[in-house]
Copies of this chain bind each other. A is one copy, B any other.
């Protein structure tokens, strides 16, 4: 029987995860230190390890929590909806996530860049299963002529890369664009891009 967590536990655990997210998303797992996380969380290092038994435990807890959030927008893609609206809805949900949760996006990017040592199983398991399932939906839409011919898997990769780019490469985007906020232009651009890519052309 595990006890209900106290208020202090809740506060400190969320403070630790938030601090871990901040640090890990910037430096990756190996490049981050417990001291950095402890300071960002406003706790001493031994106190940190009172709530999570190891550096790895903090990182794993973060990734675990992230994976749910990460799959959700794709799960919402509805076969019974209007194809182009559904796909554009997915694009905008993903772009909103890049805007609202850039650290989560960079944490994920860091993990993948390093070869996904902690989540390789999830990628070839849950993620692959979900993607294959939605790829079938896309293929049926395509065969019904409701979207232009396209490789479903690469379409999904395109959505991922185009949206996450604005979080992961934020520094570069801002350096090139100057002061103006990238996200307004990004939203309009991606909307246009996917509309043109997906709208079926009349038969000759």
- Interface residues of A, Cβ cutoff 8 Å to B: 25-32, 106, 109-110, 112-116, 120, 123-124, 127-128, 131-132, 148, 150-151, 153-158, 160-162, 164-166, 168-169, 171-173, 175-178, 185-186, 188-190, 192-193, 196-197
Contacts and interface: CB of A to CB of B under 8 A. Distances in A.
Contact of A175 (B114, B127, B151, B168): B127
A151 B113 contact: no
Oligomer copy total: 2
12 contacts: A25-B113, A30-B30, A109-B109, A112-B168, A112-B169, A123-B171, A127-B176, A131-B176, A154-B189, A158-B189, A193-B193, A196-B196
A130 B32 CA distance: 34
A39 B76 CA distance: 47
Nearest to A116: B171
Contact of A120 (B120, B175, B177): B175
A30 B110 CA distance: 13
A160 B169 contact: yes
Contact of A176 (B128, B165, B193, B197): B128
Given A28-B28, A31-B31, 7 more contacts: A30-B30, A106-B113, A109-B169, A127-B176, A150-B192, A151-B185, A157-B166
